[in-house]
């Protein structure tokens, strides 16, 4: 599959889609980054938030600096900021008050991606929110057509903060011990000096 810079004609089509004149997330003008996953445009600042979600949720590309495959450009043409926002809002999402993670790492966002897939493939659009994997049910009858399987193997960049087991507690203990040690080392010699040398 060949990739190339997004040409002017394609960029014109994408940038003129409803809502694409400003960042989908913060409203900044002339967004120059996009998510292939959602077919949306956003500013450089919000692109960081999308990158933080991982490529399994939002694949970020620069309009100007990255190369694009024809399929990726086509997906951007089928998307659009307004369309995505309206879709999420229509699934009971209070879009304006949500963080980037809450917006795009959500069942409604998963469904929107499946709808985009279907529109491009010319297949019937799914309408049911995908069931997200939870730790408990061993029942796999719920993984129907629109089900989205989430892979939690990270891409090396963003492990969930609450699941770290890197011995941070031990590090804090060692740090405290060191501070206490320095306190003793530094404080006691000073006391010895106090008696003799220091004077007016």
Residues near Zn ion (CB under 5 A): 23, 25-26, 28, 42-43, 46
CB nearer Zn ion, residue 84 or residue 115:
84
To Zn ion, the closest distance from the beta carbon of 28 in angstroms equals 5
Minimum CB distance to Zn ion, residue 57 (Å): 17
Residue 68 near residue 61 (C-beta atoms within 8 A): yes
CA–CA gap between residue 34 and residue 81 (Å, rounded):
10
Between helices 81-90 and 107-121, what is the axis angle to 10°? Answer: 130
Nearer to Zn ion, 26 or 71 (CB): 26
Closest of 91, 78, 65, 82 to residue 36, by C-alpha = 78
**Where do the DSSP E strands lie in 19-114?**
33-35, 40-42, 60-62, 68-69
Cα 100-102-105 angle, rounded to 5 deg: 90
Of 106, 104, 110, which is closest to residue 53 (Cα–Cα)? 104
CB of 43 to Zn ion, least distance (A): 3
Q: Nearer to Zn ion by C-beta: 46 or 53?
A: 46
Q: Which residues contact 113 (CB under 8 A, 6 or more apart)?
A: 37, 38, 148
Q: Minimum CB separation from Zn ion for residue 26, in Å? A: 3
Helix (H, G, I), strand (E, B) or coil at 78: helix
- C-beta of 103 vs 146, nearer to Zn ion: 103
Q: CB of residue 47 vs Zn ion: minimum separation in angstroms?
A: 8
- Smallest gap from residue 20 Cβ to Zn ion (A): 13
């Amino acid at each position: 599959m060949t990739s190339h810079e997004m040409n002017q004609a394609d960029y014109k089509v994408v940038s003129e889609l409803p809502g694409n004149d400003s960042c989908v997330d913060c409203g900044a003008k002339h967004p120059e980054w996009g998510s292939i996953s959602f077919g949306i445009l956003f500013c450089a600042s919000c692109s960081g938030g999308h990158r933080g979600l991982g490529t399994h949720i939002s694949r970020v590309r620069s309009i100007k600096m990255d190369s694009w495959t024809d399929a990726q450009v086509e997906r951007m043409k089928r998307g659009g900021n307004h369309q995505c926002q309206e879709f999420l809002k229509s699934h009971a999402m209070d879009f304006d008050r949500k963080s980037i993670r809450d917006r795009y790492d959500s069942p409604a966002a998963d469904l929107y991606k499946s709808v985009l897939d279907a529109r491009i493939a010319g297949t019937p659009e799914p309408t049911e929110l995908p069931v997200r994997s939870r730790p408990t049910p061993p029942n796999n009858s719920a993984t129907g057509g629109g089900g989205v399987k989430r892979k939690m193997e990270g891409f090396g960049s963003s492990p969930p903060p609450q699941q770290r087991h890197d011995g941070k507690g031990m590090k804090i203990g060692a740090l405290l011990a060191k501070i206490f040690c320095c306190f003793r080392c530094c404080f006691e010699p000073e006391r010895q000096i106090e008696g003799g040398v220091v004077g007016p």
